[in-house]
Homo-oligomer: A and B are copies of this chain.
Amino acid sequence: MAKVATVITNLFEDVEFTEPAKALRDAGHEVVTIEKKAGEQVEGKHGEQLTIDKGIDDVSANDFDALLIPGGFSPDQLRADDRFVAFTKAFMEAEKPVFAICHGPQLLINAKALEGRHATGYKSIAVDMEYAGAKFKDEEVVVCNNQLVTSRTPDDIPAFNREIVKLLK
């Protein structure tokens, strides 16, 4: 079964973490939350609390099979820290599965990993993604090269979960 890293900080969009994490765990995979330090508490936009499993300095993309990037205001804060951008870039360069929803692709922009890729994301970042070289599609889920899975909003979670679970089979 796969070991899935999740980069996440305060003001994440609650269900964009909880529902994909549940779907992955229900399928037998392990989900590991990563922020600055292990043991810290982070809180979603709507009050969901979670405890961070690993600090960013204590992990490497080599330790994981896939990366999940939930949305909300979390990805924009994470990408202000170069360590999270480098961690994201390592998954993309290794062509490991990457799952990003809503504002999640903001980390992919900073990793300069969207050039030529088919992808979607939250409406507000569509122009950013196009400038970054993505072929933006306004669809509930976009799967690119059987590696990069992106969705737009919480409404897309059923399609997102279906594709991420399928890709890890």
Nearest Cβ distance between residue A102 and chain B, in whole angstroms?
11
Mark each residue of chain A from 129 to 163: 1 if its CB lies under 8 Å from any CB of chain B, else 0.
00111000000000000000000000000000000
In the complex, per-residue mask of A108-120: 1 if CB is within 8 Å of any chain B CB, else 0? 0110100000000
Question: Which stretch in A12-20, A57-65, A75-83 binds the other chain?
Answer: A75-83
A116 to chain B, nearest CB (A): 14
**For the side of the interface on A, what is the size category?**
20 to 34
Q: Is the interface of A mostly helix, strand, loop or mixed?
A: helix
Any B CB within 8 A of the CB of A40 = no
> Cβ of A124: which chain B residues have Cβ within 8 Å of it?
76-77, 79-80, 106, 110
Given A128-B128, A131-B131, A132-B131, the answer on whether A80 and B123 have CB atoms closer than 8 Å is yes
Residues of B within 8 Å of A80, CB to CB, are: 122-124
Residues of B near A131 (CB, < 8 A) are: 109, 128, 131-133
A127 close to B (CB within 8 Å): yes
Q: Mark A92-103, 1 if CB is under 8 A from B, else 0.
A: 000000000001
Residues of B within 8 A of A132 (CB): 127-128, 131
Chain B hits for A128, CB < 8 A: 106, 109, 128, 131-132
Can you give 6 A-B contacts (C-beta < 8 A)? A73-B76, A76-B76, A77-B124, A80-B124, A106-B128, A128-B132
